Amino acid sequence: MKIKIYRLLIKWLLKEMRRLKRKKATRVEARPTVPPEQFPQTFVIESFFLSELIPILTRGANEEMHFLTGPKLGPIRIVCRLAAPVPLNRQSPVFVSASAKSVASVLIPIIEQGAELHICAHSHPGGGAGATTPSGTDIGCLGKLQKNGSPAIGCIVTRDGYVRFFSILTNFHVMVLGSGVKEITKNVFHITR
Ligand SMILES: [Zn+2]
């Protein structure tokens, strides 16, 4: 009789162990497959801010460059203001160049303000969405910055209101909120106001 009880007890224990094992396996499978840190960096910009940025970047015949900054909430980056202008050592209609020292002089105050460098924006001559295509220099410069760990992306604008956002190494998403904006293709917009 005693043996029969032990046998029943062992049988029940084994059954219970199998049930718990199954439960654990289902719990593991139910976990999200994408960890939260892989959520793409999302840049949120007002169309009004872009409509004010374009004349600043295209005020003369030369290419102009500005760093855009603002707060960050996890992977959400609010692009809402211009950093101090970068002192440029060479400027022409198709090329902008700044020394590492002058770039650092602008980036240090951004970090001290508790903000983040979100976007490196510059202008291109010509018009239409095609004119916003990044040059070899643009790809090289942004690639170097991103290789050093910056999640900042690039932005190119034209005088006729086209704006392109681009990245070399990072996955990103741009949201342009407000009126007077039309999405042309992925990450290319036309500001119509
Ligand atoms: Zn360029």
Closest CA to 43 of 117, 148, 140: 117
Point out which residues pair with 143 in neighbouring strands. Answer: none
70: left (phi over 0), alpha (psi -120 to 50) or beta: left
Give pLDDT, residue 108: 87
Taking alpha carbons only, the member of 135, 139, 111 closest to residue 124 is 135
Cα(134) to centroid(ligand 1), Å: 5
Helices vs strands, H then E, count in the chain: 4, 13
Encoded tokens for 181: 């904006």
What are the residue boundaries of the structural domains of the chain, listed by start?
A: 1-31, 36-191
User: Quick check: pTM over 0.85?
Assistant: no
Q: Using the mean position of ligand 1's atoms as its centre, give its distance from the Cα of residue 128 in Å.
A: 14
> How far, in Å, from the CA of 49 to the mean position of ligand 1?
20
Q: What share of the chain is helix, strand, coil (3-state, %, to 5)?
A: 35, 30, 30
Using the mean position of ligand 1's atoms as its centre, give its distance from the Cα of residue 69 in Å: 19
What does each of the 193 residues of the chain score in pLDDT, given as a tens digit?
Answer: 556 666 766 676 667 767 777 766 666 555 555 555 578 899 999 999 999 999 999 998 888 889 999 999 999 999 999 988 877 766 655 556 667 777 788 888 888 888 889 999 999 999 999 999 999 999 998 998 899 888 999 999 999 999 999 999 999 999 999 999 999 999 999 999 7
Compute the distance from residue 133 Cα to the ligand 1 centre, in Å. 8
What pLDDT does 36 receive? 54
- The predicted pLDDT at position 111 comes to 85
Q: What residues does 92 pair with on adjacent strands?
A: 95
- Distances in Å between the Cα of 170 and the Cα atoms of 2, 28, 40, 58 are 68, 29, 8, 27
Superfamily of domain 36-191: Cytidine Deaminase, domain 2 (3.40.140.10)
- Tell how far the Cα of 172 is from the centroid of ligand 1, in angstroms: 19
